[in-house]
Chain A
Amino acid sequence: MLDFIQQLVSGIALGCVYGLIALGFVLIYKATEVVNFAQGDLMMLGGFFVFTFIGLMGLDYWLGFLFAVCGMAVFGMATERILVRPILGYPQFSIVMATIGLGYFLRSIAGMIWGTDDLRIETPFSAGVLKVGDLVLAHDKLSVIVATVILCGVLYAFFNYTRMGTAMRATSENMLAAYYMGIPVKRVVSLIWAISAAVAACAGVLLAPITFIHSNVGLVLGLKAFPAAVLGGFGSIPGALVGGLIIGVIESLAGFYLPQGWKDIAPYIVLLVMLVVRPHGLFGPSMRKKV
């Protein structure tokens, strides 16, 4: 039983990371119908940013965290301006390929700049553990869970109670109508990319003590975040988190109870089953065909 709870908690922590990456997918998808295959690589880049600020420049952890998130927000905006805006409105698949290309590019460049070794940083959560009875919870994993909850709360409030958040929801409903209503759609889209990259950076920073910083970490985790996003319904923000949690827990339990090899493919089996049974996910709106 204890093992089960232990696995459950580490699965939830892992799931929160998937959830954060999936959140990035969902934000961009909701607003622009672009699926950003480079989301995991943005996360990786966030990890490297924070390594540069903390590990190389010797800044304080929280300052480095802030700088990395801001840096990634600017990077996300630049990506939108250079790569996505010129091809927005073209068939979806070409944009998907462009972001795959971006992911390729970022992975290689990061490998060239920061090397291919595992990097690590000192964080306030690196060593400590919390003991509840016989249960041992590492601080780094707890920090991921807490940060995810906070981040989700902030994003939820932003989307529901601010003017810009409302504009973003309007853009995601119908870009053309939003234009007519005087919403600065281009700026909104830029901002969404910035937020999404910032969320990815948060995930990268929180993950740094757990998986270390490596140029391929984004590819692996990014591809596992897809099942999470699909499971929750691609256009739903709470869905992304719930999907992430489910995938994380399934992966963790499959790694513990099933023979070797199942851990890696369990998320994809769940994904395929989900796509066949309920393609619009747990929380996604059911879609109607229009001519």
Chain B
Amino acid sequence: MRFVFKTDYDQDIRILKHSGYWWSYGVLLAVLIAAPFLLGSYLQSQLVFVFIYAIVGVALMILTGFTGQASLGHAAFLAIGAYTAGFLQSHGVPFIVYFPTAAILTGVVGALVGFPALRLTGIYLVIATIAFAFIVEEVLARWESVTHGNEGMRVRALDLAGIPVPRDSEAFYFLCLLVLVGVILLALNLLRSPTGRAFVAIRDSETAGKSMGIDLAAYKVKSFAISAAITGMAGVLFAHKMTFISPEMFTLLLSIEFIMVIIIGGAFGVHGAILGAIFMVMVDPFLTALKDDVPVLAASVASSFGMAQDAATQLQDKLSKIGSAAGLKGAIYGLIIMMFILFEPYGLYGRWLKVKLFFQLFPLYKRATFKRQKTYVKSERNR
């Protein structure tokens, strides 16, 4: 175990705490750079989705995890980014212009959503963001001169200063990786700056923050704007990855998936957003694989335990019938959300920290370190 003896504040807020970080993150980056040359096109494509989800995850982490403002409307921000990209691209605007334009426009919309948030906390905010997302979805479906309505909109391949970058190319992968790394660095730097500390103060206690001289209004709007702008960037990449966008892709369910990213990963750090993104993107192919393999496996196990061949075959049929039932995915998503909230409230990254601490303190680890405090007094209503 390594003890970092901190002697000044700069050391405390350093992003790379000690030399070990250089090694581990250097290796990770090297692996990610080598990945497209080692992996097949399918996994590479999945990794691109992981990057896009992770960008949204980081955005939500800034807003929900660090400022304490919940949002179930991030699919709308993604949609605004995606549609801005699609619209501007079809009018011949180059990528280098419409990428930042989409981010800025989404950020402005995010700031506008942030204004009602000044008076709202907790559940009211969640409902307001849902309402906002519905309105955006309806506007996208009706504003046909710009969005082509429910027919959807084709997005041409990305054109980077004359070089075409198709959705499956390595170049697109590297672009997404670059944006993700940039967003992560931005988030880390933001969160160790005075702004980031103000966000955390707002999360922990608005009243206390206010009495320390934090301008609640300004910082809440800022947090919304930053989070929305980052989501808008993800939206541009999303549009180019999908090559086709339509309003029904950006529903409440997508917003819930984004929230799942940070709940599953853990909302209190960048690691969580990334782990959650990996989980959310990979759970679907994993389930598909399970659907094919589990019935066969179960049947062979059953027959090896002495079950008759007919009965084993019947079991296999039954299981594969359940596996291919429509809507099984929704049930599993629902179960995943409930299980994580009940049993792993700090998410995957929290589990990693627990395991790490267990080995660091080996015989002395105690469970209560990570126990959350329950409050039964009416805090939310009076806050």
Report which A residues bind B (CB closer than 8 A).
29, 33, 35, 83, 86-90, 92-98, 100-109, 111-112, 116, 174-176, 179, 215, 223, 226-227, 230, 234-235, 261, 264-265, 268-269, 271-272, 275-276, 279, 287-291
Contact with A along B350-383 (1 / 0, CB 8 A): 0000000000000000000000101111101111
A265 to B338, alpha carbons, bound, how many Å?
Answer: 30
When the two chains form their complex, are residues A107 and B119 in contact, meaning their CB atoms are under 8 A apart? Answer: no
B249 contacts the other chain (CB 8 A): no
B132 contacts the other chain (CB 8 A): yes
List 5 other contacts, CB 8 Å, given A93-B126, A100-B256.
Answer: A90-B372, A96-B123, A101-B334, A227-B131, A268-B135
When the two chains form their complex, are residues B333 and A261 in contact, meaning their CB atoms are under 8 A apart? Answer: no
Given the known A-B contacts A102-B338, A275-B116, A289-B207, are A176 and B327 also in contact in the complex, defined by CB atoms under 8 Å? no
| Across-interface contacts of B122 in A (CB, < 8 A) | 92-93
**16 A-B contact pairs sorted by A residue (CB < 8 Å):** A33-B381, A92-B122, A94-B263, A97-B341, A98-B342, A100-B256, A101-B341, A108-B328, A116-B326, A174-B378, A223-B252, A226-B131, A227-B127, A269-B131, A276-B115, A279-B119
A130 to B71, alpha carbons, bound, how many Å?
Answer: 46
When the two chains form their complex, are residues A272 and B330 in contact, meaning their CB atoms are under 8 A apart? Answer: no
When the two chains form their complex, are residues A96 and B126 in contact, meaning their CB atoms are under 8 A apart? Answer: yes
B324 CB to closest chain A CB (Å) equals 11
When the two chains form their complex, are residues A101 and B127 in contact, meaning their CB atoms are under 8 A apart? Answer: no
When the two chains form their complex, are residues B337 and A268 in contact, meaning their CB atoms are under 8 A apart? Answer: no
Given the known A-B contacts A83-B342, A291-B207, are A105 and B119 also in contact in the complex, defined by CB atoms under 8 Å? no
B49 CB to closest chain A CB (Å) equals 21
When the two chains form their complex, are residues A100 and B131 in contact, meaning their CB atoms are under 8 A apart? Answer: no
| Across-interface contacts of B377 in A (CB, < 8 A) | 174-176
A291 to B212, alpha carbons, bound, how many Å?
Answer: 13
Closest 10 CB pairs of A and B: A101-B337, A105-B334, A89-B374, A104-B334, A108-B330, A108-B331, A268-B131, A108-B327, A111-B327, A101-B338
A100 to B263, alpha carbons, bound, how many Å?
Answer: 13
| Across-interface contacts of B383 in A (CB, < 8 A) | 289-290
When the two chains form their complex, are residues A105 and B331 in contact, meaning their CB atoms are under 8 A apart? Answer: yes
B12 contacts the other chain (CB 8 A): no
Given the known A-B contacts A92-B122, A94-B345, A97-B263, are A116 and B327 also in contact in the complex, defined by CB atoms under 8 Å? yes
When the two chains form their complex, are residues B207 and A101 in contact, meaning their CB atoms are under 8 A apart? Answer: no
B287 contacts the other chain (CB 8 A): no
When the two chains form their complex, are residues B331 and A101 in contact, meaning their CB atoms are under 8 A apart? Answer: no
Residue of A nearest to B131 (CB): A268
When the two chains form their complex, are residues A275 and B126 in contact, meaning their CB atoms are under 8 A apart? Answer: no
When the two chains form their complex, are residues A33 and B380 in contact, meaning their CB atoms are under 8 A apart? Answer: yes
When the two chains form their complex, are residues B341 and A98 in contact, meaning their CB atoms are under 8 A apart? Answer: yes
State which of B127, B205, B337 has its C-beta within 8 Å of the C-beta of A226. B127
A104 to B374, alpha carbons, bound, how many Å?
Answer: 26
Residue of B nearest to A93 (CB): B70
When the two chains form their complex, are residues B380 and A92 in contact, meaning their CB atoms are under 8 A apart? Answer: yes
A227 CB to closest chain B CB (Å) equals 7
| Across-interface contacts of B70 in A (CB, < 8 A) | 93, 96
A244 CB to closest chain B CB (Å) equals 15
Q: Is chain A's binding surface mostly helix, strand, loop or mixed?
A: helix
- Residue of A107, A223, A234, A271 most packed against chain B (CB within 10 A): A271
When the two chains form their complex, are residues A271 and B374 in contact, meaning their CB atoms are under 8 A apart? Answer: no
| Across-interface contacts of B197 in A (CB, < 8 A) | none
B128 contacts the other chain (CB 8 A): yes
When the two chains form their complex, are residues B135 and A275 in contact, meaning their CB atoms are under 8 A apart? Answer: no
A291 CB to closest chain B CB (Å) equals 5
| Across-interface contacts of B322 in A (CB, < 8 A) | 112
Residue of B nearest to A172 (CB): B378
Residue of B nearest to A290 (CB): B382
B167 CB to closest chain A CB (Å) equals 30
B26 CB to closest chain A CB (Å) equals 35
A166 to B134, alpha carbons, bound, how many Å?
Answer: 39
B274 CB to closest chain A CB (Å) equals 20
B325 contacts the other chain (CB 8 A): yes
When the two chains form their complex, are residues B326 and A104 in contact, meaning their CB atoms are under 8 A apart? Answer: no
| Across-interface contacts of B135 in A (CB, < 8 A) | 265, 268-269, 272
State which of B120, B205, B380 has its C-beta within 8 Å of the C-beta of A275. B120
When the two chains form their complex, are residues B337 and A97 in contact, meaning their CB atoms are under 8 A apart? Answer: yes
B130 contacts the other chain (CB 8 A): yes
When the two chains form their complex, are residues A94 and B116 in contact, meaning their CB atoms are under 8 A apart? Answer: no
| Across-interface contacts of B148 in A (CB, < 8 A) | none
| Across-interface contacts of A90 in B (CB, < 8 A) | 345, 372, 374
When the two chains form their complex, are residues B341 and A109 in contact, meaning their CB atoms are under 8 A apart? Answer: no
B13 contacts the other chain (CB 8 A): no
When the two chains form their complex, are residues B116 and A105 in contact, meaning their CB atoms are under 8 A apart? Answer: no
A283 CB to closest chain B CB (Å) equals 15
| Across-interface contacts of B119 in A (CB, < 8 A) | 275-276, 279
B336 contacts the other chain (CB 8 A): yes
Given the known A-B contacts A174-B377, A289-B207, A291-B207, are A112 and B327 also in contact in the complex, defined by CB atoms under 8 Å? yes
B18 contacts the other chain (CB 8 A): no
State which of A86, A88, A234, A264 has its C-beta within 8 Å of the C-beta of B123. A234
| Across-interface contacts of A234 in B (CB, < 8 A) | 123-124
A100 to B260, alpha carbons, bound, how many Å?
Answer: 11
B64 contacts the other chain (CB 8 A): yes
Residue of B nearest to A288 (CB): B382
A261 to B375, alpha carbons, bound, how many Å?
Answer: 43
Residue of A nearest to B70 (CB): A93
| Across-interface contacts of A271 in B (CB, < 8 A) | 127-128, 131
A90 to B263, alpha carbons, bound, how many Å?
Answer: 14
When the two chains form their complex, are residues B342 and A86 in contact, meaning their CB atoms are under 8 A apart? Answer: yes
